[in-house]
């Protein structure tokens, strides 16, 4: 991926955010009120920590971040779990009001939407196990062959479901964000 120093990149640096993606969460939370004061939040794929910073600014009680790369956050409300989403023992994490996932596959110039969908499904598998009843879920996924099926699957687990592309997403990007509010529990 080309690292352009666009408007949101410059804004993030100026305002002290670790990543331009912080503005995606700020916009989506502003529209959908996912993270409230005193929320317990799980951030899957949290590095470098832009979304964690947003959660902390929104006065989350606790933010747990999972990633294979260290997040650069120092705050007593933040706990970093240095593990792969494929290997994490979710039982030790506890329960959360909100589960976020902005995880992307490691790429070397070639992007695979199926690999992205696989990571989104793994994030969802974790969310089903740790979301509190009526909890909220926000997940990035790239449009591809599995997009519609994954959306249909998620929709049945939430009182409210929406697909959104924030303004901070690059226009040429195929990334979309799936928003689920009011987790109904594991319906299986």
Active-site positions read 140
Could you say which DSSP state residue 91 is in?
Answer: G
Q: How many CB atoms lie within 10 A of CB 50?
A: 24
Q: Sheet containing 78-82: give its strands across.
A: 78-82, 62-67, 40-44, 96-101, 131-142, 175-183, 158-164
Neighbours of 45 (CB within 10 A): 23
Q: What is the DSSP letter of 76?
A: T
* Half-sphere CA count of 156, side-chain side, radius 13 A: 7
With residue 37 as reference, give the H or E element that holds it: none
Place of tokens 């009001």: 97
Place of tokens 């991926």: 1
Which is it for strands 158-164 and 78-82: parallel, antiparallel or unpaired?
A: unpaired
């Amino acid at each position: 991926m080309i690292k352009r120093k666009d408007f949101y990149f410059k804004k993030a640096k100026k305002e002290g955010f670790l990543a331009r993606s912080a503005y995606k969460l700020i916009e989506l939370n502003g529209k959908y009120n996912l993270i409230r004061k005193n929320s317990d939040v799980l951030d899957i794929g949290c590095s470098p920590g832009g979304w964690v910073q947003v959660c902390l600014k929104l006065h989350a009680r606790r933010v747990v971040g999972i990633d294979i790369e260290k997040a650069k956050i120092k705050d007593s409300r933040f706990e970093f779990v240095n593990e792969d989403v494929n290997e994490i023992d979710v039982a030790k994490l506890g329960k959360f009001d909100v589960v976020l996932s902005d995880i992307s596959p490691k790429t070397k110039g070639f992007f695979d939407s199926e690999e992205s969908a696989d990571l989104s499904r793994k994030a969802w598998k974790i969310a089903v196990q740790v979301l509190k009843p009526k909890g909220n879920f926000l997940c990035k996924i790239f449009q591809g062959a599995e997009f519609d099926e994954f959306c249909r699957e998620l929709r049945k687990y939430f009182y409210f479901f929406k697909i959104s592309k924030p303004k901070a997403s690059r226009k040429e990007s195929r990334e979309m964000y799936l928003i689920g509010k009011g987790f109904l529990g594991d319906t299986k």
